[in-house]
Amino acid sequence: MADDVWQVAVFTLTMAVVATLVMLPPGIVLAWLFARHRFRGFTALETLVMLPLVIPPVATGLILLRLFGRRGLFGRVAESVGLEVIFTWKAVILAMAVMGLPLLVRAARGAFEQVDRRYEQIAASLGAGPLRIFFTVSLPMAGRGVLAGVLLAFSRAVGEFGATMMLAGNMPGSTRTIASGIYFYTEVGNDAAATSLMLASIVIAFGSLWFSNRLARP
Amino acid sequence: MSFSLTLEFTLQQGEFSVEIDERIEADAIALYGPSGAGKTTVLEAVAGLRQPERGRIAVGDRTLFGSDNGVDVPARHRCIGYVPQEVALFPHMNVRQNVTYGAHGAPMEDLARVLAVLDLEPLVERRVEQLSGGEQKRTAIARALMAGSRMLLLDEPLSALDVALQRRVMQYLVRVHDEFNIPMLYVSHRADEVLMLTDWVVQLDNGCVMASGPSKDILPRV
């Protein structure tokens, strides 16, 4: 594998791992909320979180661009603290995290719903507070399903293209990922590099999906 | 050790409702009646897992629920050890981890005593799925005792056990009662269990109290 192809693969994997870590806390909290609570605005929040699954990824990218651009709501805040997001590696992570989050939430929610509430009630009767119940009963018992969701979200992050292109571009060495690399190398007629990246993406996706499916099995 | 229990409440559960109005002074109290009588519902209300519509639940002079003064002590602060019918041991923990889950830094001697009384020492490192039905029941009782409980709620602890195991677990329950001197509220549909373990019985049917009094007077001799 050529050096630049190798660099793109390693960069994509690193960004996908960081994006997965970034989406983990909000993903698990949202999954648990959706599984265990009904509140005002529940359906609206649920729909909002799942939206990236159904709208074109480039549309999600455009929304993020508007939000994190210089004149965007979060862009201005980021700029005021000297943080540059758009067209940097941070934008790659952001795009990957937003696109992977719905898959994590969906799988983890199913896993939390499978945990019999009885165990949480018993833990409460033994003196445990909500946080302790979550970390010692709900999360470990939903662990396999949550991990399956994490792997699914990671796979999605590795394969992310549309939102990343909109938000981070395709700059060699700083924002080029496997997906944008395949697109670029095909465009410029470098079939060997495009094929190498395609094979790398298949191996990574197959491995993580295989683990995810195994974990999701009861 | 005699204790007083106030159960004066109405609890609606879908179409089914439980109405109870009892103040009892006893050593161990049984909720006795057929399946669907509302026994477990009463137990869960005492444990804080179900909220009555109105009324009062108190152990001694400690009000756990009182609709008049807006008291509803959360389950985790009630200090009541609950052993549900299906046991519900945490499947991802071993026996020791289950038993000490609610122990909150209780002295090691307490753990040793509970494990000894219930003959659980050889099993402490076993995982839940490696336990027999009787061992699971004993572990659940130990877990409830270790949570610093001031009262023990036992929901059909002999159900789903064969006759030989029922006899063994019954012996353990008698031992727990004698050794720890802890008030008990015991749910059963079997008169022999109730007569052996409790001195007061509240007979329930279809959510209503049919009779209440000393066990030996209410229940026919078995």
Q: Is B82 on the interface with A (CB under 8 A)?
A: yes
Find, in chain B, the residue whose alpha carbon is nearest to that of A126.
B102
pLDDT of residue A218: 66
Nearest to A141 among B74, B92, B101 (CB): B92
Residues in chain B with CB shorter than 8 Å from the CB of A141 are: 90-92
Return the CA Rg of chain A.
Answer: 19
Say which residue the tokens 């078995």 belong to.
B222
CA distance B82 to B88: 10
- CATH code matching the domain that covers B3-218, chosen among 3.30.479.30, 3.40.350.10, 3.40.50.1100, 3.40.50.300: 3.40.50.300
Contact criterion met (CB < 8 Å) for A118 and B104: no
pLDDT of residue B222: 41
* CB–CB contact A125 B82 (8 Å): yes
How much is the pLDDT for B126? 96
Phi and psi, residue A81, nearest 5°: -105, 15
List per-residue pLDDT tens for chain A, 218 residues long: 566 888 999 999 999 999 999 999 999 999 999 999 999 999 999 999 999 999 999 999 999 999 998 888 998 998 888 888 999 999 999 999 999 999 999 999 999 999 999 999 999 999 999 999 999 999 999 999 999 999 999 999 999 999 999 999 999 889 999 999 999 999 999 999 999 999 999 999 899 888 888 887 76
Could you state, in order of their start, the residue ranges of all structural domains in chain B?
A: 3-218
The alpha-carbon radius of gyration of chain B (Å, integer) is: 17
Please give the pLDDT value at position B104. 80
Chain B interface includes A141 (CB < 8 A): yes
Interface contact B82-A140, CB threshold 8 A: no
B137 and chain A: CB distance < 8 Å anywhere?
no
Residue (of B81, B55, B49) closest to B68 by Cα position? B55
Q: For residues B30 and B50, give the distance between their C-alpha atoms in angstroms, rounded to a whole number.
A: 19
CB contacts of B49 in chain A (<8 Å) are: 121, 124-125
Measured CA to CA in angstroms, residue B211 lies from B23, B27, B201 at distances of 13, 18, 8
- CB contact (8 A) between residue A128 and residue B76: yes
CA distance B167 to B46: 27
Of A118, A126, A140, the CB nearest to B102: A126
A53: which strand partners?
A: none
Number of A–B residue contacts, CB under 8 Å: 54
Q: Look at A118 and B75 and tell me if their CB atoms are within 8 Å.
A: no
Please report residues of A whose CB lies closer than 8 A to that of B47: 125
Of B80, B102, B144, the CB nearest to A128: B102
Q: Where are the domains of chain A?
A: 3-216
Cα B27 to Cα B40: distance, rounded to the nearest angstrom? 20
CATH T-level fold of A3-216:
MetI-like fold (1.10.3720)
Chain B, 43 to 72: residues with Cβ < 8 Å from chain A are: 47-49
Q: Please give the residue of chain B at the shortest CA–CA distance from A143.
A: B92
Separation in Å, CA of A129 to nearest CA in chain B: 7
Question: For residue B213, what pLDDT is reported?
Answer: 93
| CB-closest option in B77, B92, B101 to A140 | B92
The dihedral sign for the CA sequence A130, A131, A132, A137: positive
- Give me the residues of chain B with pLDDT under 70, please: 1, 220-222
Give me the residues paired with residue B95 across strands: none
User: Inter-chain contact B49–A125, Cβ cutoff 8 Å?
Assistant: yes
Distance from CA of B89 to the nearest CA of A (A): 8
